[in-house]
């Protein structure tokens, strides 16, 4: 039976963990190295690190911070933000990342997905997609959610996989930070459409929301930030609740 994954996310700005609502109104959520170590010790299955302002500020991901986090954890570690070349990925993997996540660079130059997949293997490449509903269409946004594009969520996700993405991380911008639950319908469609794992992001506010996203949307993993950062839900408690609801997780 497939084991579902629980993934805390560290959104990083100016070297600190931050969290907002609908990609704005950011507030401090703590030291990323300390948070990462805590999550690893409490049973998180993986960790995602997103340098959310790297693309907007036209700079590379904070490699030194990546290295500091990698020293403190023993779980798979995905890093994203400001990645646009094979050399960028090589530096992050050398710093301790296990997988990398591309978003804006993939939209502006889709061939980068092919290049990275050939160089490092599909299992190393996560394509993150931020989208919100506009005129009844899920439109992809880039640059930390600040720039709308002409890409539609489902066709873009399919193209990413065809180009070599090993996983898709979908964040509903409409649900992000609202704590009202994940975007079940588009997540189920992605799960049905794609032959690779789908990670759900945006909207977690209760244990029941995780139960729903695993049972109704059938995703492979669920990612959350603020409810973990502010200790509103503890990962061991969440996993026990999921087990009670018949969802297979690693305890």
Measured distance CA(126)–CA(215) in Å, rounded: 23
DSSP E strand stretches across the chain: 5-13, 16-21, 24-30, 47-51, 77-80, 99-102, 125-134, 137-142, 147-152, 167-172, 198-201, 221-224
Q: Which of 45, 88, 130, 176 is catalytic?
A: 130
Q: Which of 11, 45, 88, 176 is catalytic?
A: 11
Please indicate whether residue 130 is annotated as part of the active site: yes
Q: What contacts 69, CB < 8 A, 6 or more positions away? A: 10, 32, 33, 36, 47, 49, 77, 96
The answer to whether the CB of 192 falls within 8 A of the CB of 168 is no
Q: What is the DSSP letter of 165?
A: -
How far is the first Cα of the chain from the last one, in angstroms, to the nearest whole number? 15
Measured distance CA(8)–CA(86) in Å, rounded: 26
Residues with a known catalytic role: 11, 130
């Amino acid at each position: 039976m497939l084991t579902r994954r629980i993934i805390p996310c560290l959104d990083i700005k100016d070297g600190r963990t931050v969290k907002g609502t609908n990609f704005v109104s950011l507030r401090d959520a703590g030291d990323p190295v300390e948070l990462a170590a805590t999550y690893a010790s409490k049973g998180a299955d993986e960790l995602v690190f997103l340098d959310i302002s790297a693309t907007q500020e036209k700079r590379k991901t904070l490699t030194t911070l990546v290295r500091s986090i990698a020293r403190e954890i023993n779980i798979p570690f995905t890093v994203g933000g400001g990645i646009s070349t094979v050399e960028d990925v090589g530096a992050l993997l050398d710093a301790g990342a296990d997988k990398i996540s591309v978003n804006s660079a993939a939209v502006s130059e889709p061939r980068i997905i092919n290049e990275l997949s050939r160089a490092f293997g599909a299992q190393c490449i996560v394509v993150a997609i931020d989208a919100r509903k506009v005129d009844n269409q899920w439109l992809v946004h880039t640059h930390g959610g600040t720039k709308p594009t002409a890409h539609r969520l489902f066709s873009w996700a399919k193209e990413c996989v065809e180009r070599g993405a090993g996983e898709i991380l979908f964040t509903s911008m409409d649900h992000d930070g609202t704590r009202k639950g994940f975007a079940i319908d588009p997540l189920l469609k992605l799960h049905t459409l794609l032959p690779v794992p789908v990670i759900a992001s945006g909207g977690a506010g209760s244990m029941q929301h995780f139960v729903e996203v695993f049972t109704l949307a059938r995703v492979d993993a669920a990612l959350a930030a603020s409810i973990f950062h502010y200790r509103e839900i503890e990962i061991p408690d969440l996993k026990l609740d999921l087990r009670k609801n018949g969802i297979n997780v690693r305890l």
